[in-house]
Amino acid sequence: MSGTGAQARPATGRAGDPAVDRATSRAVDRSRSLADTVVVVTGAGGSIGGAIARLVLEAGGRVVAGDLRPDALAPLRDAWGEDRLAVGLGDVRDEATADALVAAGVQAFGRVDSVVANAAVGFYGGVLDYSADDVSLMVDVNVKGTVWLARAAVRQFRTQGDGGDIVILGSVAGLLIGGGQEAVYAATKAAQINLGYALDRELRSEGIRTTTIAPAGVNTPFAAADGRFGDRDPSEGDFLEPEDIAQAVAYTLRQPRRMRTELWTMWSLCESH
Q: What is the DSSP string of 104-172?
A: HHHHHHS---EEEE-------S-TTTS-HHHHHHHIIIIIIHHHHHHHHHHHHHHHHTS-EEEEEE--G
pLDDT tens digits along 190-232: 999 999 999 999 999 999 999 999 998 887 776 655 556 556 6
Structure-model confidence comparison of residues 239 and 242, the more confident one: 242
Residue 8 lies in a domain: no
Q: Would the pLDDT of 87 be above 60?
A: yes
Q: Would the pLDDT of 142 be above 50?
A: yes
- Which of 252, 229, 204 is CA-nearest to residue 37? 252
The pLDDT of residue 225 is 54
Average pLDDT in the chain: 86
Q: Would the pLDDT of 271 be above 70?
A: no
Give the Cβ contact number of residue 16 at 10 Å. Answer: 8
Residue 3 lies in a domain: no
Q: Would the pLDDT of 102 be above 70?
A: yes
> d(Cα 150, Cα 156) in Å, to the nearest integer?
10
Residue 235 phi/psi, 5° resolution?
-75, -15
- 23 HSE (CA, 13 A, CB side): 22
Q: How many domains does the chain have?
A: 1
Range of the domain at 237: 18-266
Residue 63 lies in a domain: yes
The pLDDT of residue 4 is 39
The domain spanning residue 177 has which CATH number? 3.40.50.720
- The dihedral over CA atoms of 250, 252, 257, 260, expressed in degrees to the nearest 10, equals 180
Q: What residues have CB less than 8 Å from 247, skipping those under 6 apart? A: 55
Residue 187 lies in a domain: yes
The pLDDT of residue 97 is 98
pTM of the model: 0.84
Lowest mean pLDDT among 29-38, 164-173, 222-231: 222-231
> d(Cα 108, Cα 66) in Å, to the nearest integer?
14
Residue 271 phi/psi, 5° resolution?
-125, 135
Q: Beta strands 62-67 and 85-89: pairing type? A: parallel
Residue 237, SS3 per DSSP = coil
> d(Cα 28, Cα 24) in Å, to the nearest integer?
6
Catalytic residues: 185
Residue 192 lies in a domain: yes
Mean pLDDT value across residues 112-129: 94
Cα of first residue to Cα of last residue in the chain, in angstroms, is 39
Residue 13 lies in a domain: no
